[in-house]
Copies of this chain bind each other. A is one copy, B any other.
Amino acid sequence: MEFKNVTVVKKANIYFDGKVVSYTVKFEDGTTKTLGCMQVGDYTFNTGAAEVMEFLSGELSVELPNQKEPLIIHSQATFEVPANSSFTLHVKSIADYCCSYAK
């Protein structure tokens, strides 16, 4: 799977002392995605716009707003995160993802 005719920011986005890194990809329609990887660890992110998170590999669980039970992910899964909320990921093995932001 490839994204064609896009713009990529050369510099990595580095979070949590480098345990989470991502790259920003800009699309012709004005939307943005980030492609990133998370090392083993626990991470809480706050959202501005709503996000769709797609994991491509990794073992993790995710605490989402309005969900009583954590989402358990083995390798591949996609979930939505509401705008102006937060979610927490417990990453058990290196996980890579594609995050799509609402325009």
Contacts and interface: CB of A to CB of B under 8 A. Distances in A.
A37 B9 contact: no
B2 A7 contact: yes
A7 B18 contact: no
Contacts of A5: 5, 7
A1 to B, nearest CB: 4
Q: How large is the interface on A (under 10, 10 to 19, 20 to 34, 35 or more residues)?
A: 20 to 34
Interface string A1-28: 1111111111110100111010101100
A39 interface: yes
Contact of A96 (B14, B17, B93, B94): B14
A57 interface: yes
